[in-house]
Amino acid sequence: MLSGIQPSGDLHIGNYLGALRNWVRDQERFENFFCIVDLHALTVLPDPAALRSRTLDVVALYLASGLDPAKCEIFVQSHVPAHAQLGWIVQCFTPIGWLERMTQFKVRGQTQGRERIGTGFFTYPALQAADILLYDADYVPVGDDQRQHIEFCRDVAQRLNALHGDVVKVPEPLIQGVGARVMGLDDPSVKMSKSIAAGHPLHAVFMLDPPDQIRRKIARAQTDTEPAVRDPVGPGVANLIDMYAALRGVDARSAFDEFSGKTYSALKSATADALIAALEPIQRRYAELRADESALRTGLVASAARVTVIAEATLARVQQAVGLR
Ligand code: TYM
């Protein structure tokens, strides 16, 4: 199993429910590779000091959330040069049209204009495919927004295999039912995202928000004008129910039944309670782990050394197949 998170902003409950907590839950069942994808974060030209520090923030959050370094490789993407090397090869096998179809690129193109988007942002799915293919991943646990990128990875893997024999493993996405698509609290028509959250204080609950902040944000989450929870629920209410269900480990239907006929404030306070119960222990562990930067760095260096052996073997196999060695 392989996955990664960009150190591009504060992690929010979408990252937690859609990805991180599922990795923690499933770590016993797989051989695990979790990276902090700093090369991906570089595509939006972050402040260098912020990128450096956020990379360690994410490592500490992985550990605080319960990823066990005895069971998981936890490493920084740029520490393993094979990612960039295979990324280039993948780009060479990627028709431009495949990248132009990516929703993330299209959306940013519409809001920022294509002229201003970095080439790295455009070719980003090729690097992501390399991340996955290097470790012969069977499964890629992600939120729903990454489905298209995993599909892209499968397409390019199949293309490589069709042209050069079975050279890479074709991975499958692992996407949960509930929690896979947490929407913005201030606007439930858009996915909760780090970049929107940076400019909109009521958009997201961050994993490191203190309890009173969590209560305040959930209390102000957009709902609708109905007096109580009833079918069919609007998108804001559905989002709260979905978060509650994900946190309590039940399906959305039984969470709905639990609140049916109750006020929105009952739903909101139960959702805030569930969030606080999940996040408080993580926050306590995080404070300790983040304080010891040298321990974090030591772990990263050791993990990068181990995964480099695997990544370089795959890279050599692909290089051989395409004629680079
Ligand atoms: P990133 O950093 O945007 O998000 C990290 C993980 O969080 C999930 N996620 C969400 N899940 C539910 N609701 C949301 N609102 C929400 N927002 C984010 C994402 O689906 C993801 O699982 N390109 C990737 C990083 C990446 C990667 C990889 C992932 C690079 N290489 C290889 C898997 C495998 C990204 O930008 O994720």
Is the beta carbon of 192 within 6 A of some atom in ligand 1? yes
Residue pLDDT, tens place only, 258-276: 999 999 999 999 999 999 9
Q: Which of 2, 11, 15, 176 to mutate to test the pocket of ligand 1 (most atoms within 8 A of CB)?
A: 15
* pLDDT at residue number 282: 98
* pLDDT at residue number 225: 87
* pLDDT at residue number 28: 97
SS3 content of the chain, % helix, strand, coil (to 5): 60, 10, 30
Residue nearest to atom 19 of ligand 1 (CA): 143
Instruction: Kindly report the average pLDDT of the chain as a whole number.
Output: 97
* pLDDT at residue number 286: 98
Both tokens of 310, joined, read: 């695997």
* pLDDT at residue number 43: 95
CA of 261 to the centre of ligand 1 (A): 35
Both tokens of 325, joined, read: 């060695």
Both tokens of 196, joined, read: 């929107």
Separation between Cα atoms, residue 247 and residue 138, nearest integer Å? 26
Mean pLDDT by runs of 10 across the 325 residues of the chain is 97 98 97 98 96 98 98 98 98 98 93 91 97 98 98 98 97 96 97 94 98 98 92 95 97 96 96 98 98 98 98 98 97
Is the beta carbon of 180 within 6 A of some atom in ligand 1? yes
Is the beta carbon of 145 within 6 A of some atom in ligand 1? yes
CA dihedral 238, 172, 19, 112 (to 10 degrees): -80
CA of 193 to the centre of ligand 1 (A): 10
Both tokens of 3, joined, read: 């996955």
Is the beta carbon of 5 within 6 A of some atom in ligand 1? yes
CA of 146 to the centre of ligand 1 (A): 6
Nearby residues of 244 by Cβ (< 8 Å), 6 or more positions away: 255, 259, 267, 270, 271, 274
Is the beta carbon of 130 within 6 A of some atom in ligand 1? no
Residue nearest to atom 5 of ligand 1 (CA): 5
E-assigned strand segments in the chain: 2-5, 32-36, 72-76, 139-141, 172-174
CA of 21 to the centre of ligand 1 (A): 13
Is the beta carbon of 18 within 6 A of some atom in ligand 1? yes
Is the beta carbon of 191 within 6 A of some atom in ligand 1? yes
Both tokens of 187, joined, read: 């606007």
Answer yes or no: are the C-beta atoms of 157 and 133 closer than 8 Å: yes
CA of 147 to the centre of ligand 1 (A): 9
* pLDDT at residue number 227: 86
Is the beta carbon of 243 within 6 A of some atom in ligand 1? no
Is the beta carbon of 14 within 6 A of some atom in ligand 1? yes
List the one residue out of 93, 78, 92 whose CA is nearest residue 43: 78
Backbone angles phi, psi at 37, to 5 degrees: -90, 80
* pLDDT at residue number 200: 96
CA of 6 to the centre of ligand 1 (A): 7
Q: Which of 142, 178, 185 to mutate to test the pocket of ligand 1 (most atoms within 8 A of CB)?
A: 142
What is the atom index within ligand 1 of the atom nearest the CA of 141? 22
What is the atom index within ligand 1 of the atom nearest the CA of 15? 7
What domains, with CATH codes, occur in the chain?
Answer: 2-176+293-322 (3.40.50.620), 194-287 (1.10.240.10)
Is the beta carbon of 188 within 6 A of some atom in ligand 1? no
Is the beta carbon of 9 within 6 A of some atom in ligand 1? no
Pairing of strands 72-76, 2-5: unpaired
